[in-house]
Amino acid sequence: MLSTFLIVLIPLLPLISFTLIALAGRKYFPGFCGILGTVSLLVSCILSGMVAYDYFFVVGKIGDVYQQLVPLKLTWLQFGANVSIDLGILLDPISVMMIVIVTFISLMVHIYSLGYMKGEERYATYYSFLGLFTFSMLGLVLSANIFQIYMFWELVGVSSYLLIGFYYDKPSAVAASKKAFIVTRFADLGFLIGILVLSYYSNTLDFQTLITRLSTPTDQYHSIVTASFLGGSALTWGLLLVFIGGAGKSAMFPLHIWLPDAMEGPTPVSALIHAATMVVAGVFLVARLFPVFSMDGFALNVVAWVGITSSFLAALIACTQTDIKRVLAYSTMSQIGYMMFSLGVSKYGGEQGLGFMASMFHLFTHAMFKALLFLGAGSVIHYVHSNEMKDMGGLRRLMPVTHLTFLVACLAIAGIPPFAGFFSKEEILQAAYRSNKAVFGIAVLTAAITAFYMFRLYFNIFWSRDFQGHGKDAHHGEAPMTMKFPLILLAILSFGAGMIPFGKYISSDGKPLLTEFNPTFSITPVLLALGGIALAWSFYKKESQKPAAISASLDGFYTMIYHKLYIDEIYVFITKKILFNGIGRPAAWFDRNIVDGSMNGLASITASFSFMIRRLQSGKVQQYSVYFFAGLLGFVILFIYFWN
Partner 1 sequence: MNEIGLNHYLVVSCSLFFIGIYGFLTRRNLITMLMSVELILNSININFVAFNKFLFPHKLDGVFFVLFIITIAAAEAAVAIAIIINLYRNYHTIDVEEVTTMKY
One residue of 471, 520, 620, 644 binding partner 1 per CB under 8 A: 620
User: Do residues 104 and 489 lie in contact, with contact meaning Cβ atoms separated by under 8 Å?
Assistant: no
Q: Does 606 bind partner 1 (CB under 8 A)?
A: no
Taking the complex as a whole, the smallest distance from the CB of residue 614 to partner 1 amounts, in Å, to: 5
Considering only residues 336 to 395 of the shown chain, the ones binding partner 1 according to CB under 8 A are none
Q: Which is nearer to partner 1, 477 or 619 (CB)?
A: 619
Taking the complex as a whole, the smallest distance from the CB of residue 637 to partner 1 amounts, in Å, to: 15
User: Do residues 329 and 453 lie in contact, with contact meaning Cβ atoms separated by under 8 Å?
Assistant: no
Taking the complex as a whole, the smallest distance from the CB of residue 186 to partner 1 amounts, in Å, to: 54
Q: Which is nearer to partner 1, 590 or 627 (CB)?
A: 627
One residue of 169, 619, 641, 644 binding partner 1 per CB under 8 A: 619
How far is Cα 113 from Cα 116, in angstroms, rounded to an integer? Answer: 5
Taking the complex as a whole, the smallest distance from the CB of residue 632 to partner 1 amounts, in Å, to: 10
Cis? peptide before 486, omega within 30° of 0: no
Q: How many residues in total does the chain contain?
A: 644
One residue of 200, 298, 609, 629 binding partner 1 per CB under 8 A: 629
Q: Candidates 109-117, 262-270, 367-375, 616-624: pick the segment binding partner 1 (CB under 8 A).
A: 616-624
Residue 323: phi, psi to the nearest 5? -80, 120
Contact map string, positions 563 to 602, toward partner 1, x by CB under 8 A: ----------------------------------------
User: Do residues 69 and 90 lie in contact, with contact meaning Cβ atoms separated by under 8 Å?
Assistant: yes
Pick from 161, 158, 224: nearest CA to 196: 224
Taking the complex as a whole, the smallest distance from the CB of residue 192 to partner 1 amounts, in Å, to: 54
Q: Does 621 bind partner 1 (CB under 8 A)?
A: yes
How far is Cα 614 from Cα 198, in angstroms, rounded to an integer? Answer: 61
Q: Which is nearer to partner 1, 524 or 625 (CB)?
A: 625
Taking the complex as a whole, the smallest distance from the CB of residue 641 to partner 1 amounts, in Å, to: 20
The SS3 assignment for 430 reads helix
Q: Which is nearer to partner 1, 521 or 629 (CB)?
A: 629
Taking the complex as a whole, the smallest distance from the CB of residue 615 to partner 1 amounts, in Å, to: 7
Residue 73 identity (one-letter amino acid): K
Q: Which is nearer to partner 1, 32 or 629 (CB)?
A: 629
Q: Which is nearer to partner 1, 499 or 626 (CB)?
A: 626
Class of residue 262 by CB neighbours under 10 A (exposed 0-12, middle 13-18, buried 19+): buried
How far is Cα 554 from Cα 319, in angstroms, rounded to an integer? Answer: 13
Using CA atoms, how far residue 291 sits from 67, 301, 573, in Å, is: 14, 15, 39
Taking the complex as a whole, the smallest distance from the CB of residue 626 to partner 1 amounts, in Å, to: 6
One residue of 614, 640, 641, 642 binding partner 1 per CB under 8 A: 614
Number of residues that bind partner 1 (CB under 8 A): 11
Using CA atoms, how far residue 259 sits from 77, 167, 420, 559, 568, in Å, is: 35, 17, 24, 21, 12
Q: Does 622 bind partner 1 (CB under 8 A)?
A: yes
Q: Which is nearer to partner 1, 518 or 625 (CB)?
A: 625
Taking the complex as a whole, the smallest distance from the CB of residue 617 to partner 1 amounts, in Å, to: 5
How far is Cα 84 from Cα 82, in angstroms, rounded to an integer? Answer: 6
User: Do residues 498 and 342 lie in contact, with contact meaning Cβ atoms separated by under 8 Å?
Assistant: no
Taking the complex as a whole, the smallest distance from the CB of residue 622 to partner 1 amounts, in Å, to: 5
Taking the complex as a whole, the smallest distance from the CB of residue 601 to partner 1 amounts, in Å, to: 25
Q: Which is nearer to partner 1, 603 or 626 (CB)?
A: 626
How far is Cα 62 from Cα 70, in angstroms, rounded to an integer? Answer: 15
How far is Cα 518 from Cα 540, in angstroms, rounded to an integer? Answer: 33
Taking the complex as a whole, the smallest distance from the CB of residue 128 to partner 1 amounts, in Å, to: 53
Taking the complex as a whole, the smallest distance from the CB of residue 612 to partner 1 amounts, in Å, to: 12
| Residue 61 bridge partners (DSSP) | 66
User: Do residues 289 and 242 lie in contact, with contact meaning Cβ atoms separated by under 8 Å?
Assistant: yes
Q: Does 625 bind partner 1 (CB under 8 A)?
A: yes
Q: How many beta carbons lie within 10 A of that of residue 478, not counting itself? A: 18
Cis? peptide before 260, omega within 30° of 0: no
Q: Which is nearer to partner 1, 517 or 639 (CB)?
A: 639
Report CA Rg, the chain.
Answer: 30
Q: Which is nearer to partner 1, 4 or 625 (CB)?
A: 625
Q: Candidates 167-175, 205-213, 490-498, 622-630: pick the segment binding partner 1 (CB under 8 A).
A: 622-630
Q: Does 612 bind partner 1 (CB under 8 A)?
A: no
Q: Does 627 bind partner 1 (CB under 8 A)?
A: no
Q: Which is nearer to partner 1, 471 or 619 (CB)?
A: 619
User: Do residues 503 and 384 lie in contact, with contact meaning Cβ atoms separated by under 8 Å?
Assistant: no
Q: Does 618 bind partner 1 (CB under 8 A)?
A: yes
CA torsion sign for 163, 169, 172, 177 is positive
Pick from 328, 397, 400, 341: nearest CA to 369: 328
Residues 196-224: b if buried by 16+ CB within 10 A, e if exposed: ebbbebbebbbbeebbbbbbebeeebeeb
One residue of 226, 538, 575, 617 binding partner 1 per CB under 8 A: 617
Q: Which is nearer to partner 1, 587 or 626 (CB)?
A: 626
User: Do residues 468 and 392 lie in contact, with contact meaning Cβ atoms separated by under 8 Å?
Assistant: no
Q: Does 475 bind partner 1 (CB under 8 A)?
A: no
Q: Which is nearer to partner 1, 476 or 614 (CB)?
A: 614
One residue of 615, 639, 640, 641 binding partner 1 per CB under 8 A: 615
Q: Does 626 bind partner 1 (CB under 8 A)?
A: yes
User: Do residues 315 and 380 lie in contact, with contact meaning Cβ atoms separated by under 8 Å?
Assistant: no
**In this structure, are strands 65-66 and 69-78 parallel, antiparallel, or unpaired?**
unpaired
Q: Which is nearer to partner 1, 553 or 622 (CB)?
A: 622
Q: Candidates 155-163, 312-320, 592-600, 611-619: pick the segment binding partner 1 (CB under 8 A).
A: 611-619
Residues found near partner 1 in the complex (CB under 8 A): 614-615, 617-622, 625-626, 629
